[in-house]
Amino acid sequence: MPPRTSTHSRPRIVIVGGNFAGLTAARHLDRRHAVTVIDRSPSFEWLPNIHELLSGVKRPADLRLPLRRLVTRAGHRFVRAEVTGIDVRAGCLGTADGREFEFDACIVAVGGVNDTFGVKGAERHAMPFKSVDDCAAIGRRLTSLVRQSGEQSVVIVGGGLEGVEALGEILRRRGACESLHVCVVESGPRLLSGAPPALDAAVRAHSAACRVRFCTGSPVTAVTRTQVRLSSGERLRSDLTIWTGGVTASPLLRESGLAGKSDRWAPVTSALQSKKFENLFVIGDAAALPRALPKQAYFAMQMGECAAGNARRLLAGRELRAFRPAPKPMLVTFGDLDTFLVRGRSVIASPALAVVKEAVFQATMAQIDPPLDPSALRELKARLRGTARNLALPALASLLRW
Ligand SMILES: Cc1cc2nc3c(=O)[nH]c(=O)nc-3n(C[C@H](O)[C@H](O)[C@H](O)COP(=O)(O)OP(=O)(O)OC[C@H]3O[C@@H](n4cnc5c(N)ncnc54)[C@H](O)[C@@H]3O)c2cc1C
């Protein structure tokens, strides 16, 4: 459907979702457009480091920034609400609290939702691993487990990036967690299936001295309050089940007609424009590009910048530009035991690389929220103090011991 001609002095752009992709889009639009960012969460959340909440080296406040401040500073309006439906033909969307917002162009950046693949009991008994709140809750449960007497069992479902990083953080607490047994269950034949096999071997080698078991090639069939059941018939005892198993599309995409019955994610053109509606762009994890990309924060940010430019061009009747992804190496931390830098099929491993991941975190947070007012400056100082206390000083101490 072609874009409607706006009768407003400033064309209206509504952005649904204000995390990596949506916030970046907002920051690349200026006041020539009336931009509204709608998110159900009051905070921007730095998801790539949420595993560190399990060991306590990060606090929830380190990983959150107030969205209203960020959006207002970019010159736009922030609305905290859950979007429940988008009527693209009518140029209007609705929220759970009954409000309606009209738009000339819309950018959808809703990410994904936890996927338990219909495994019986997983929604109820396994703890999800998708947000700051989720991981803070897992951290609290771990603390209460290690305070209990006797042996305790933790099962991590999923041996991908999140599962391996979660294991690393549990092992970072190994002094305090000697009574913990950890089992990582992965349905595929090895850990970190998309990465070179050397990573699987390195993670197993680092875990050899700890009480860790790996069950690969073992899909989970059911989760109960005290057990994880495998397709082999084995029943693993579990006092805490962490579900890092998967991610799927938000139901909003299908309900609003952005994704068809056979699509998981919303199909877009190479210019990130919805294949179903001309005046709508889908970006970040929610988008199915003509050539699939890994669902990574830096691609989400790059898409946000591209979609902002294309929304401007669309409303000005100009030709859209294709999205050109710029891949970056992936940094996988394994607690304080190791960090892997993965680029294509090559891997560099060193605990010292944790400093690089931390520097990316600190620099990007400061770029998103420059310390221009007292509260932003206070929060920046607290993040830097946390890094010094929890990461830099222990690293220095271990170097001195060595
Ligand atoms: C544990 C973990 C570790 C990761 N590690 C890395 C890493 O090391 N490097 C890396 O590059 N990437 C990493 N990622 C992936 C990265 O976090 C995602 O690719 C990125 O968050 C995608 O950004 P997005 O803006 O598309 O979606 P999200 O960040 O998921 O944001 C979606 C936003 O939309 C809002 N929203 C959703 N539905 C609605 C609605 N109906 N109404 C209103 N608001 C809504 C949400 O509240 C949220 O703010 C990791 C992810 C996880 C979970």
pLDDT (average), residues 29-34: 96
Whose C-alpha lies nearest to ligand 1, atom 38?
110
Which atom of ligand 1 is found nearest the CA of 95? 42
Q: For residue 16, what are the β-bridge partners?
A: 38, 108
pLDDT (average), residues 131-135: 98
Higher pLDDT, 278 or 401: 278
If one residue of 14, 15, 16, 19 were mutated to test the ligand 1 pocket, choosing by the most ligand atoms within 8 A of its CB, it would be 19
Whose C-alpha lies nearest to ligand 1, atom 35?
17
Q: What is the SS3 assignment for the chain?
A: CCCCCCCCCCCEEEEECCCHHHHHHHHCCCCCCEEEEEECCCEEECHHHHHHHCCCCCCHHHHEEEHHHHHHHCCCEEEECCEEEEECCCCEEEECCCCEEECCEEEECCCEEECCCCCECHHHHEEECCCHHHHHHHHHHHHHHHHCCCCEEEEEECCCHHHHHHHHHHHHCCCCCCCEEEEEEECCCCCCCCCCHHHHHHHHHHHCCCCEEEEECCCEEEECCCEEEECCCCEEECCEEEECCCEEECHHHHHCCCCCCCCCCEEECCCCEECCCCCEEECHHHEECCCCCCCCHHHHHHHHHHHHHHHHHHHCCCCCCCCCCCCCCEEEEECCCEEEEEECCEEEECHHHHHHHHHHHHHHHHHHCCCCCHHHHHHHHHHHHHHHHHHHHHHHHHHHHC
Whether residue 171 has pLDDT greater than 70: yes
The whole model's pTM is what? 0.94
Which atom of ligand 1 is found nearest the CA of 44? 49
137's tokens: 């809750």
* Pocket residues: Cβ below 6 A from ligand 1: 16-22, 38-41, 47-48, 50-51, 82-83, 109-111, 129-130, 161-162, 250, 252, 284-286, 295-298, 300
Q: Tell how far the Cα of 86 is from the centroid of ligand 1, in angstroms.
A: 20
Whether residue 344 has pLDDT greater than 90: no
At residue 402 the predicted structure's pLDDT band, cuts being 50, 70 and 90, is: very low
Q: Which residues contact 399 (CB under 8 A, 6 or more apart)?
A: none
Whether residue 246 has pLDDT greater than 90: no
Q: Are strands 338-343 and 346-349 parallel, antiparallel or unpaired?
A: antiparallel
State phi, psi for 301 to the nearest 5 degrees.
-70, -40
Q: Tell how far the Cα of 296 is from the centroid of ligand 1, in angstroms.
A: 8
Q: Tell how far the Cα of 400 is from the centroid of ligand 1, in angstroms.
A: 38
Q: Tell how far the Cα of 312 is from the centroid of ligand 1, in angstroms.
A: 24
Higher pLDDT, 352 or 258: 258
Which atom of ligand 1 is found nearest the CA of 286? 26
For 320-342, what is each residue's pLDDT tens digit? 999 999 989 999 999 999 999 99
Whether residue 280 has pLDDT greater than 90: yes
Which atom of ligand 1 is found nearest the CA of 296? 19
Higher pLDDT, 387 or 312: 312
**What is the pLDDT at residue 91?**
96
Angstrom distances, CA of residue 112 to CA of 27, 144, 249: 22, 30, 5
N residues, the chain:
402
Q: Tell how far the Cα of 246 is from the centroid of ligand 1, in angstroms.
A: 13
CB-neighbour burial class of residue 59 (10 A; exposed 0-12, middle 13-18, buried 19+)? middle
